[in-house]
Amino acid sequence: MIKIILSDIDGTFLKDDKSVCELHAKAIKAAVAKGLKFVFVSARMPEGIYPITDALGMAHTPVISYSGGLVLTEDEEVLFDKRIAAEDAQSILAAMKRWQDISVSCYAGRRWVTEKIDERIQREHENTGAPFELGNFDALLRENILPNKIFVRCEPPTCKEMETELSREFPALNVVRSAPHLLEVMDKSISKATGIEVLLKHYGYGVDEAIAFGDNYNDVEMLEMIPQSVAMANAPDRVKKLASAVTDSNEVGGIYTYLAKIGVIEP
């Protein structure tokens, strides 16, 4: 019996223009009304997730943010908080200075810090609703404010090059593109599956009592972990092959389609 629904946000729950798919909102409200838990599992920080849950009228829901690096209960109690080691953070931030025209952010707990405000930072703020602050990365590290995630926004060729070079240079870190123009850096031990494991244990659920929805490469561990895993139609072929099922795209309500198909909600 399904007790919890896990969903990625961008490219899965949200449409491509970052608006909420009405069918997805309908599906989640119906599932929650039946007593199921619904949890966003995202690379976003909590402040980039809560505006969505607020808009859905679901202000108090658990969240798994930073792709598993920070797990919060519905009461915002911290269940898990994994940071990048200071030495690793300092070294990779220094290495990133080799590239020009990139926008770098450090996400530390509930804080989003950047050293410069540009069009990419403004766009991310508009897309997520999360607040950011100007700061100095070296100063943060000296104060032992360590990042859960270092995030780079840049052009796709640069992003691919950075992923290749930095993943080779920093084997203790997970360096991965979450989109052609987005690069995420976290501790090597972190994935969406680690965050899900923490949350399921907290609530006493097994993996066979969950459904997971995802669309991209940073969803792979989640889709492999949950037996009833569902890839969106807009997912790359490799991701689709790893999931146990494929549903419609994020644009046309794939989550609704699948939940109605298996009888979790009424169509």
In sequence order, which ranges of the chain are alpha helices (DSSP H)? 22-33, 46-55, 86-95, 119-128, 137-142, 156-169, 192-203, 220-225, 237-242, 254-261
Which pLDDT score, from 0 to 100, does residue 221 have?
95
Which pLDDT score, from 0 to 100, does residue 26 have?
96
Which pLDDT score, from 0 to 100, does residue 176 have?
87
Which pLDDT score, from 0 to 100, does residue 149 have?
97
Which residues on adjacent β-strands are paired with residue 101? Answer: none
Which pLDDT score, from 0 to 100, does residue 220 have?
94
The DSSP output letter for 257 is H
Q: Is residue 68 classed as helix, strand or coil in its secondary structure? A: helix
Q: What angle do CA 61, 67, 72 make, to 5 degrees?
A: 30
Q: Is residue 24 classed as helix, strand or coil in its secondary structure? A: helix
CB contact at 8 A, 65 and 44 = yes
Which residues in the chain come in under a pLDDT of 70?
A: none
pTM: 0.92
